[in-house]
Amino acid sequence: MKKSVLLPLLAINFYHVMGGFDFIVIDKLTETASPVTVIFLRLLLAAVILMAYAAVRKISLRIKKEDLLRVILCGGIGFALYYTLEATGIEKTSGSLASLILALIPFFGMAGDRLVFKNPISWKKGICACCSLAGVFLIVTGSEGSNLTGTVYGILIMFAAALSWTSYIILVKPLQEKYDLIAVTAVLFLVGTIFELPFFLASGPAEVLSLSGFDWTILIATGVVCIALGQAMYIYGVGRLSVTTVSLYANLLPLVTVVFSFLFFGQVLSLRQLLGGAVILIVVTLSSVLPDKGTDSPADTE
């Protein structure tokens, strides 16, 4: 595998590893503040951090007029809408069911890849997506007390979250090819922050005062590493890989989350979860070497 493929894959993996750790952090922070408050503060921190870095490095944040709508949609859908839908859906469904619905992202990704970029749907990648879904099912149902219950409203919200993230992958792909990585990431975070502001104001900004110094330390540290850097790496990978390949890696998140729960909280991993994790690891490994028929596939770069 050449460097032109390996680096984007490593970037996508970095994002999901940070995402798994971040999931645990969010679970801790939402004990003090609402999910909307946590989302807004982290988007704002990431935007400020990246814009400050761009200013120091004298990186232009200017976006061409013809790309403004795409940027607005990316920031609104990928950051504000997705995270709001996810937080709302998780409240209305069980965590297991929410994870299982999000595991459908690879299927949505393949459909989007076909419709938007005209890349043929590989039956091999289709099998990988099915196996990946099975792996997530084993993980989320392998923990004690897991259940697949939820309201119709919550289920619909989680489907909307999965579709919004897939739309974000498709929309952001051309931007990374035209602009500096830091610049486009900073602008997207800024747009996402603006979209999230009304939700934050409606939820009660006074919650910010309840955050301790330790909470702020976690917010800032994860805002730099998990949010700002993680999203920059994700956009880098999306710009160089097919939407199908990128979306298949989405199912690493449940695996990474349970691994971190085991490492930090001593949560016992069941045989079912270990089997599911093995399936997901095999799938993402195969998906990185199986050739896509699109122009950005590993086969075309090797």
Question: What are the extents of the domains in the chain?
Answer: 3-292
Per-residue model confidence (pLDDT) at position 299: 35
How far apart CA 245 and CA 105 sit, in angstroms, is: 11
Per-residue model confidence (pLDDT) at position 302: 34
Assigned token pair, 127: 């099998």
pLDDT in tens, the chain (302 residues): 555 688 999 999 999 888 888 877 777 787 888 888 888 998 999 999 999 999 999 999 999 999 999 999 999 999 889 888 887 887 788 778 888 899 999 999 999 999 999 888 888 889 999 999 999 999 988 877 677 888 899 899 999 999 999 999 999 999 988 899 999 999 999 999 999 999 899 887 888 888 899 889 988 888 889 889 999 999 999 998 889 989 999 999 888 888 888 887 777 889 999 999 999 999 988 887 776 554 343 333 33
169, 243 Cβ separation under 8 angstroms = yes
What predicted TM-score, i.e. pTM, was given to this entire model? 0.87
Assigned token pair, 141: 């149902």
124, 287 Cβ separation under 8 angstroms = no
Per-residue model confidence (pLDDT) at position 83: 81
Per-residue model confidence (pLDDT) at position 12: 94
CA dihedral 83, 86, 90, 91 (to 10 degrees): 60
Half-sphere exposure of 153 toward its Cβ, with a 13 Å CA cutoff? 3
List, in sequence order, every residue forming a beta bridge with 150; answer none if it has no partner.
93
Per-residue model confidence (pLDDT) at position 292: 53
102, 158 Cβ separation under 8 angstroms = yes
For residue 81, what are the contacts with CB-CB under 8 A and spacing of at least 6? Answer: 164, 195
Question: Which amino acid is residue 168, in one-letter code?
Answer: Y
